[in-house]
Structure 1
Amino acid sequence: MRIIQEGTIALGPGKVSLLEAVREHGSISAAARSMNMSYRRAWLLMDELNRALGSQATVSEHGGQSGGGSTLKPGGEEIIRLYRSIEARAATVCAPDIKALVKLLKT
């Protein structure tokens, strides 16, 4: 599922996966590495998401002795929860149609 806002993908599977990776790894750079993505690409995706939201999904601390990092704000956690819930319900409801589509694919 993708939510398009003003011609941009405001929310989709890649951004949700990136939020999950930030939650797991504690920084955008570590999340990007875990997804084989450049830091710049990850930062741009997070910036795009944060600009689309009423409040930011993440909070980042800049470098320093501990090297900084990022954590999810409650809104970021809620995005993951809602998105994954919708995804699971859609898979259940759409299972017959998905099965029919899969039959159309080459084996």
Structure 2
Amino acid sequence: MSTSPSPAPPARPEFRFRMRITVGDAIAIGPGKVQLLEAILETGSLTAAAKRIDMSYRRAWVLVNELNTALKAPAVESGKGGGNGGGSILTPVGLQVIEHYRAIEARAAAACAAEIRSLTALFGPDKG
């Protein structure tokens, strides 16, 4: 007697902000770059940060370069590679980018909490 697996419960709706600041056609800062900055802060390495967030080293390097170019002062400083690797650190500007970005997200989510609840309540399995 074979039993078929029971269907997985439907995923709960999840609200996520996708705030970006653009400079010309380039995305100067957005959720991916902030996530990368946070991973660099945690790991002290661009290579390790890229691995942590499942991103290629080349893509991470490009994103950091774009961000550093767009800002008045760099967000990330990297040492030269070598036997022990060079490491990467966030500058005070990099720390401020994370702090401001996450604060804006939190304030926006709090200000829109009722609307977010109402919108996400429209999603789900109830087909009435």
What TM-score bracket applies, with the shorter chain setting the length? Answer: over 0.9
1:1-107 matches, within 5 Å, as 1-107=19-125
Identity of aligned residues (%): 54
The DSSP-based 3-state class of the residue aligned with 1:41 is helix
- Aligned-partner Cα distance in 1 for 2:41–2:20: 21
Q: Report the RMSD for the aligned CA atoms in angstroms.
A: 1.1
1:22-45 alpha-carbon deviations (Å, 9 max, x no partner): 010111110000001100111111
- Aligned-partner Cα distance in 1 for 2:31–2:86: 26
- The one-letter amino acid paired with 2:102 is R
The DSSP-based 3-state class of the residue aligned with 2:84 is coil
Length-normalised TM-score, structure 1: 0.94
The DSSP-based 3-state class of the residue aligned with 1:51 is helix
Of Structure 1 and Structure 2, the greater helix share is in: 1
The DSSP-based 3-state class of the residue aligned with 2:121 is helix
Length-normalised TM-score, structure 2: 0.79
1:45-104 alpha-carbon deviations (Å, 9 max, x no partner): 111111110111010001123211100000000111111111111110011111122123
Residues matched between the structures, number: 107
- Aligned-partner Cα distance in 2 for 1:54–1:100: 40
Runs of 4+ in 1 over 2 A off after TM superposition: 103-107
- Aligned-partner Cα distance in 1 for 2:64–2:107: 26
- Aligned-partner Cα distance in 2 for 1:61–1:28: 10
The unaligned stretches of length 5 or more in structure 1 are none
